[in-house]
């Protein structure tokens, strides 16, 4: 059976005066004595003499003051929350509707609860020191506001040197972007971290510490937090956790402390949990949960925080780097392989000659399977990836060796295919060749994606077999073979276009592989900037013809499409365009058309048709027609 207090003091503010009547008309027969908060604070001792239970309705500050007085004068507390105090309702599991809230506030079943004091100030929800973007934000906030607030916190995101001291006198020196003391608060993202096992009982202070090694690592953490609605069994990387009856927090620079969203104090900060400090009428569910969490002992989980060497490095950083560093193991795996790839040897030369010969023959045979075989055989990708690392790390030896190996490979390929071409008595131009003399921006896109894939697969031993797929995708040797064929044919246009495709692949792979290694953390910065600038200049230069070529292709496709919706009446003869395609020979634009006509077309008709095409589209079009007659 529910028991109620026989009398209670109702502390109200101007905003909550209207609650006096509903409280006085309570169904439990409790005698209510209303008192204004300001009046109470003038002589609290006198007003609270003989009072066993206080009902309070007011702002968070007012409630905190009453909690102070409760500690001092040992009365129990019932809280009447306003509709806006959703966090408070959630924190203590209070009823939302007024009649139930009145009934709940007057019950005689106040639970003993801990209070956390930070530099002497009561903390009900959370206290934040430094920055923990997103993690310190309320789950209920709109996404737009969440992102805008959190993004601001990323500006000047850095690690601060901190010293945390626990009740057992253990001192932890580390660096962190920020830390947060939590009090039974499930309304923020940080509550989804494993660390959440604090409660109102047990006399412990829970501290979550964030020390991301990079922005990317922090974003990964956030993604993990967002995906989960409950905590993880193991603490996520870059998160530390301390639980102790009292914690002292010191920082080298004085940092502001935000307690319950209000700027309250600054470091150094002394936080202590006062066990069973007050008796408060809390919700039923809260009572059950807290009782199960009673047995608490000091807990320190700081494995993910920077210590010793890492701490020294972190202290030197002006801000948190965007990318993480690769692990020492990965460095040790990758570098010997890259050094080996950059060294010139006879195997490379033989493979280069064989793959070019195979590609050249495949091109003449117009056989895509033979050409794919040549792509797989070609050893050119390895020194290009090494060159990317040489640029990134500023490793001059790696850089020079790789360049030398690539240049020699290219010369060998050009000579090989040129020689084969000159030996061939018949030199047809096949579709496989034509496919490699019209590079566009799309080829650059292929090269960039392949470069990323190449650097990525090279970085992880377990996926290195994927390099074969990359080699097929980017196809370095066939364009070189076509360029060589151009030399053999003494056709500069052929050579130029095919070599442009090869250059596109080369530059695209170098740039994207360099940046992929950078993202994977093989260097804190691109060290050989001058080399990268040169590669970028090349990229800019080849982008011009590629862009022109791409826009030309787009324009041609649109034109081809539009022609299918066009008809011509030439000397009373109706011509239906069934199919139209544009090809380029040298710099001449040729339109190939299949047309349907009922009557035979004379030379005069064809001239009139040509005139119409040239008048309405382009004078420079060369027209080739295939006519189908309607019987």
Partner 1 sequence: MKNLVHLSILICIVFWLGGCDQKPAITPSGKTIKVGIIAPFSGSDHAKGKEGLKGMETAMQLRPYLQNGDRIELVAENDKDDPALTVKLLKKLVNEVKVSAIITFSSTSPVLAMAKVADEYRTPILAALATHPDTTRHNGFISQLCFDDDFQGTVAAVFVRDDLLIDKVAVFSNPGSIYSSHLAAKFESKFKSIGGEITDTVSLTEETGDLSKVIKSLRDNTPELLYLPISAKDLVRVVREVRKLDWKPKMMGSDGLISTILAQHQEEIDLVDGMLATDFFAHGMPLTPFGKRARDKFRGKYKSMPTVYAALGIEAYSILLDAMNRCSDPANRGYINRQIRSTTNFTGIIGNITIGPNGKAQRPLTINSIQGGRSKFIFKVY
CB of residue 612 to partner 1, shortest distance in Å: 5
Q: Which is nearer to partner 1, 195 or 575 (CB)?
A: 575
CB of residue 140 to partner 1, shortest distance in Å: 45
Q: Which is nearer to partner 1, 572 or 587 (CB)?
A: 572
CB of residue 572 to partner 1, shortest distance in Å: 6
Q: What angle do CA 96, 98, 102 make, to 5 degrees?
A: 105
CB of residue 610 to partner 1, shortest distance in Å: 12
Q: Which is nearer to partner 1, 39 or 569 (CB)?
A: 569
Q: Which is nearer to partner 1, 231 or 394 (CB)?
A: 394
Length of the chain: 631
Give me 71's structure tokens: 């500690």
Give, as one character, the DSSP assignment of residue 155. T
Q: Which is nearer to partner 1, 335 or 559 (CB)?
A: 559
Between the CA of residue 389 and those of 339, 343, 464, 498, 514, what are the distances in Å? Answer: 10, 14, 16, 27, 6
Count Cβ atoms below 10 Å from residue 224 Cβ, excluding itself. Answer: 14
CB of residue 616 to partner 1, shortest distance in Å: 5
CB of residue 234 to partner 1, shortest distance in Å: 46
Q: Is the Cβ–Cβ distance between 440 and 556 less than 8 Å?
A: no
Q: What angle do CA 212, 215, 217 make, to 5 degrees?
A: 60
Q: Which is nearer to partner 1, 1 or 615 (CB)?
A: 615
Per-residue 3-state assignment (H helix, E strand, C coil) for 18-82: HHHHHHHCCCCCCEEEEEEHHHHHHCHHHHCCCCCEEEEECCHHHHHHHHHHHHHHCCEEEECCC
CB of residue 519 to partner 1, shortest distance in Å: 24
CB of residue 450 to partner 1, shortest distance in Å: 31
- Site residues (CB under 8 A) for partner 1? 562, 565-569, 572, 574, 576, 596, 598, 612, 615-616, 630
CB of residue 609 to partner 1, shortest distance in Å: 9
Q: Which is nearer to partner 1, 107 or 610 (CB)?
A: 610
Q: Which is nearer to partner 1, 347 or 630 (CB)?
A: 630
Beta strand 7-12 pairing with 53-57: parallel
Q: Is the Cβ–Cβ distance between 79 and 63 less than 8 Å?
A: yes
Of the candidates 606, 602, 603, which has an alpha carbon nearest to the alpha carbon of residue 625? Answer: 606
CB of residue 589 to partner 1, shortest distance in Å: 19
> CB neighbours of 520 closer than 8 A, spacing ≥ 6?
323, 326, 330, 455, 456, 459
Q: Which is nearer to partner 1, 329 or 572 (CB)?
A: 572
CB of residue 615 to partner 1, shortest distance in Å: 6
CB of residue 487 to partner 1, shortest distance in Å: 37
Count Cβ atoms below 10 Å from residue 511 Cβ, excluding itself. Answer: 22
Q: Which is nearer to partner 1, 569 or 622 (CB)?
A: 569
3-state secondary structure of 370: helix
Of the candidates 212, 211, 208, 203, which has an alpha carbon nearest to the alpha carbon of residue 181? Answer: 208
Q: For residue 614, what is the enclosing H or E element?
A: helix 603-616
> CB neighbours of 350 closer than 8 A, spacing ≥ 6?
none
Cα separation, 449 vs 493, whole angstroms: 27
Q: Which is nearer to partner 1, 45 or 616 (CB)?
A: 616
Question: Rounded to 5 degrees, what are φ and ψ at 263?
Answer: -65, 115
Q: Is the Cβ–Cβ distance between 196 and 188 less than 8 Å?
A: no
CB of residue 555 to partner 1, shortest distance in Å: 13
CB of residue 596 to partner 1, shortest distance in Å: 7
Q: Which is nearer to partner 1, 481 or 570 (CB)?
A: 570
Cα separation, 214 vs 459, whole angstroms: 19
Long-range contacts of 547-553 (CB under 8 A, 24+ apart): 547/441, 549/438, 549/439, 549/440, 549/441, 550/440, 550/441, 550/442, 552/584, 553/438, 553/440
CB of residue 83 to partner 1, shortest distance in Å: 48
Q: Which is nearer to partner 1, 291 or 614 (CB)?
A: 614
Of the candidates 201, 23, 16, 20, which has an alpha carbon nearest to the alpha carbon of residue 105? Answer: 23
Between the CA of residue 287 and those of 77, 93, 199, what are the distances in Å? Answer: 15, 9, 10
Q: Which is nearer to partner 1, 14 or 604 (CB)?
A: 604
Q: Which residue has the tokens 């690592």?
A: 217
CA 224 to chain centre: 11
Q: Which is nearer to partner 1, 95 or 394 (CB)?
A: 394
Cα separation, 408 vs 275, whole angstroms: 77
Find the Cα–Cα–Cα–Cα dihedral 405, 407, 408, 414, rounded to 10°.
140
Q: Across the beta sheet with 622-629, what order do the strands follow?
A: 573-585, 588-597, 622-629
């Amino acid at each position: 059976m529910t028991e109620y207090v026989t009398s209670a003091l109702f502390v109200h503010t101007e905003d909550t005066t209207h609650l006096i009547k509903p409280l006085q008309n309570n169904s439990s027969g409790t005698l209510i004595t209303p008192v204004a908060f300001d009046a109470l604070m003038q002589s609290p001792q006198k007003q609270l003499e003989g009072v066993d239970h206080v009902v309070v309705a007011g702002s968070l500050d007012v409630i905190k003051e009453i909690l102070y007085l409760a500690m001092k004068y040992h009365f129990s507390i019932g809280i009447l929350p306003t509709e806006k105090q959703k966090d408070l309702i959630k924190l203590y599991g209070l009823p939302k509707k007024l009649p139930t809230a009145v009934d709940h506030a007057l019950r005689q079943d106040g639970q003993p609860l801990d209070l956390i004091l930070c530099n002497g100030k009561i903390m009900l929800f959370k206290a934040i020191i430094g920055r923990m973007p997103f993690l310190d934000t309320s789950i209920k906030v709109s996404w737009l506001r969440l992102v805008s607030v959190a993004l601001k916190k990323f500006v000047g995101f850095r690690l601060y040197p901190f010293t945390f001291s626990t009740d057992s006198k253990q001192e932890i020196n580390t660096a962190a972007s920020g830390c947060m003391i939590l009090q039974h608060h499930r309304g923020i993202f940080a509550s989804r971290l494993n660390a959440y096992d604090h409660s109102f009982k047990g006399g412990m202070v829970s501290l979550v510490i964030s020390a991301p090694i990079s922005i990317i690592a922090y974003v990964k953490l956030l993604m993990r937090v967002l995906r989960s609605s409950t905590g993880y069994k193991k603490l996520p990387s870059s998160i530390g956790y301390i639980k102790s009856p009292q914690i002292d927090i010191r920082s080298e620079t004085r940092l502001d402390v935000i307690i319950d969203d209000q700027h309250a104090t600054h470091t150094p900060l002394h936080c202590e949990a006062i066990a069973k400090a007050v008796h408060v009428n809390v919700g039923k569910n809260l009572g059950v949960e807290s009782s199960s969490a009673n047995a608490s002992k000091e807990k320190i989980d700081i494995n993910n925080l920077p210590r010793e060497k890492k701490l020294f490095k972190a202290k030197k950083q002006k801000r948190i780097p965007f990318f993480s560093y690769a692990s020492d193991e990965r460095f040790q795996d990758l570098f010997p392989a890259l050094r080996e790839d950059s060294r010139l040897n006879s195997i490379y030369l033989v493979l280069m000659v064989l793959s070019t010969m195979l590609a050249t023959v495949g091109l003449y045979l117009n056989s895509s399977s033979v050409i794919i075989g040549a792509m797989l055989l070609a050893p050119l990708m390895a020194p290009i990836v090494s060159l990317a690392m040489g640029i990134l790390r500023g490793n001059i030896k790696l850089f020079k060796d790789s360049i030398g190996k690539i240049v020699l490979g290219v010369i060998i390929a050009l000579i090989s295919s040129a020689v084969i071409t000159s030996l061939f008595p018949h030199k047809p131009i096949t579709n496989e060749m034509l496919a490699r003399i019209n590079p566009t921006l799309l080829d650059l896109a292929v090269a960039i994606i392949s470069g990323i894939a190449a650097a990525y697969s090279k970085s992880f031993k377990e996926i290195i077999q994927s390099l074969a797929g990359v080699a097929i995708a980017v196809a370095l040797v066939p364009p070189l073979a076509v360029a060589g064929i151009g030399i053999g044919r003494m056709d500069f246009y052929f050579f130029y276009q095919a070599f442009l495709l090869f250059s596109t692949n080369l530059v695209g792979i170098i740039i994207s592989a360099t940046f992929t290694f950078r993202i994977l953390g093989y260097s804190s910065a691109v060290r050989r900037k001058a080399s990268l600038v040169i590669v970028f200049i090349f990229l800019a230069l080849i982008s011009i013809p590629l862009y022109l070529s791409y826009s030309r292709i787009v324009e041609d496709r649109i034109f081809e499409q539009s022609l299918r919706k066009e008809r011509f009446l030439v000397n009373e003869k109706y011509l239906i365009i069934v199919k139209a395609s544009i090809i380029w020979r040298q710099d001449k634009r040729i339109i190939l058309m299949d047309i349907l006509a009922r009557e035979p077309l004379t030379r005069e008709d064809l001239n009139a048709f040509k005139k119409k095409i040239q008048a309405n589209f382009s004078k420079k079009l060369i027209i080739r027609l295939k006519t189908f007659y309607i019987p």
